[in-house]
Copies of this chain bind each other. A is one copy, B any other.
Amino acid sequence: MAGETRSKDLGKDLGKDLGKFGQLDFPRPLTTVDVVIFAILNDSLQVLLVQRPAGEGEPFPLGWALPGGFVDVAKDRDLAACAARKLREKTGVTSPYLEQLGSWGSATRDPRGWSATHAYFALIPDDAGELAPDARWFPLPGGRLKDKLAFDHGDILATAIQRLRNKVEYTSLPAYLMPAEFTLPDLQRVYEIVLDRPLEKSAFRTRILSADMIEPVAKMRRGPNRPAQLYRLKKGREPVYFVRTFNPPE
């Protein structure tokens, strides 16, 4: 990092911070964090979006965007804390699955100047906390969002969906989308919703049960037919990685 010679003619007096360190008098990109928050609602994969404010000189007024915002160098110790704060502010959820997705930075993605965003993606259960008033869930039929998003958030969302689908093939990630107690057919349905294809019942059960990620509770889900065993996530479990993917179609 740093320490290289730089052209002095870059102009602008952004980023003046000449304490004991020199060489810092050059323009700095804007730094933001955005979070792609997924949940299963109404048997479909949905993403949480917030509406942009309509204020003076706001980019993409009233457009829909990923929850996020500038890094606050006073409040945020690090990027993950910043992402967790955004998530908490919009959903009330505090301890979900939160993973870094990647970063997007360019001269043109924000009309206010060179900017870089650090994107995270989160999985939360259906029954999680209170939604912020400017936030709304959007379904993703066929893994796509109908609407255009502000900034390059469409690209970020597409990447998040791709990553989610990809990882669901060989990990236990969907477990984080489940409520506290669930049945194996429930879990299988969530896998199928995310992957958008049916899975083999017996292979699915064998795989999940031998992964040591869930444990039965002493209750059954009752319904109009044969009751199903309820399970819960073993607490403190990291996601499990399987040595095979679910066999992909063709």
Binding site for B on A (CB under 8 A): 1-4, 6-7, 10, 12-17, 20-24, 26-32, 34, 52-53, 55-59, 65-66, 68-74, 76-79, 100, 102-107, 110-118, 150-151, 243-245, 247-248
Contacts and interface: CB of A to CB of B under 8 A. Distances in A.
Nearest to A110: B1
Given A73-B107, A73-B114, A102-B103, 4 more contacts: A1-B115, A71-B105, A77-B106, A103-B103
A247 B74 CA distance: 47
9 smallest beta-carbon distances between A and B, as pairs = A78-B106, A73-B114, A79-B105, A28-B28, A1-B32, A21-B112, A29-B31, A3-B53, A244-B244
A150 to B, nearest CB: 8
13 contacts: A1-B68, A1-B117, A3-B55, A6-B70, A15-B30, A21-B57, A31-B116, A73-B114, A76-B107, A79-B106, A100-B102, A100-B103, A103-B118
Contacts of A115: 1
A69 B24 CA distance: 12
Copies per assembly: 2
B77 A3 contact: no
A116 to B, nearest CB: 6
B2 A15 contact: no
Contacts of A13: 16
Given A3-B53, A65-B1, A79-B103, A15 B17 contact: no
Contact of A78 (B27, B56, B79, B107): B107
A3 B114 CA distance: 16
Looking at A1, A53, A68, A117, the one whose CB has the most chain B CB atoms below 10 A away is: A1
Contacts of A79: 103-106, 116
A103 B151 CA distance: 20
Given A17-B113, A69-B3, A28 B31 contact: yes
Looking at A4, A28, A78, A107, the one whose CB has the most chain B CB atoms below 10 A away is: A28
